Homo-oligomer: A and B are copies of this chain.
Amino acid sequence: MAVSEIMSESPKVPKPTIERLAIYSRPLEDLLEAGSPVVSSERLAILCGVNPAQVRKDLAYFGEFGIRGLGYEVKELLKAIRAILATDRRWSLCILGMGNLGRALVENENFKRRGYIFVAAFDADNRKVGERLACGLTIEPVAGIKDIVSKLHVDIGVITTSQKGAQRAADLLIDAGVRSVLNFTPAQVRISSSCFLENEDIGLKLENLAYHLTRIRGARATK
């Protein structure tokens, strides 16, 4: 299980595998804190609501982290997953749109713990500009984005503007040199193909729930 092996570009890692790796890390943090030295794929699978073989296969894409007959060393496994997900380094984020959601995100401690640091916050509304946030950041005018992004080496831009402002926010980010964008608005933003875009529509899961509620009465719990 060399680091080079962890980092090597594996032939084809399923996208769902990446999402699950992040899920696995949650209970692993708890186990580490609780002092459990090892965990089996079966136990981890139960904690995450997935199939044990799935856990093993997901990990196997990146190397051999387990000890046969025993399981996985919690500390080592967590370290390995963090290396895979690149949560073991610091990511600089900036955020556009300091409404309710934007404020909630920058104040959130989990992101900081995982190495995602908000280094700048912007808003198009001049009444908000200059406001000091609890996390220590001051809301900046969007006009200054280019300077700040290049000065602070922003890796990821987060969009939490109103739906109408999303495309403009994306354009500002790309123009400022940010190559990856996480969009929390329900708007579909278009972006240069050389950049990376991920959408997170918080409302979608609710609609899912409503659908299932109207059908399956007395349904089983999902992942």
Contacts and interface: CB of A to CB of B under 8 A. Distances in A.
B47 A210 contact: no
Given A84-B211, A100-B104, A49 B188 contact: yes
Interface in A186-223: 186-188, 191-216, 218-223
Nearest to A83: B214
A22 interface: yes
Contacts of A73: none
Nearest to A113: B203
Interface residues of A, number: 69
A116 B204 CA distance: 12
A27 B205 CA distance: 18
A3 interface: no
Nearest to A156: B209
Nearest to A191: B221
Identical chains bound together, number: 2
Nearest to A106: B100
B155 A213 contact: yes
Given A99-B104, A179-B213, A182-B205, 9 more contacts: A85-B207, A85-B211, A86-B213, A100-B100, A100-B107, A105-B202, A110-B186, A156-B209, A199-B223
A91 interface: yes
Contacts of A212: 18, 180, 196
Given A214-B86, A215-B9, A114 B203 contact: yes
A182 B198 contact: no
A103 interface: yes
A201 B23 contact: yes
Nearest to A200: B205
A105 B220 CA distance: 26
A18 B204 CA distance: 9
B182 A209 contact: yes
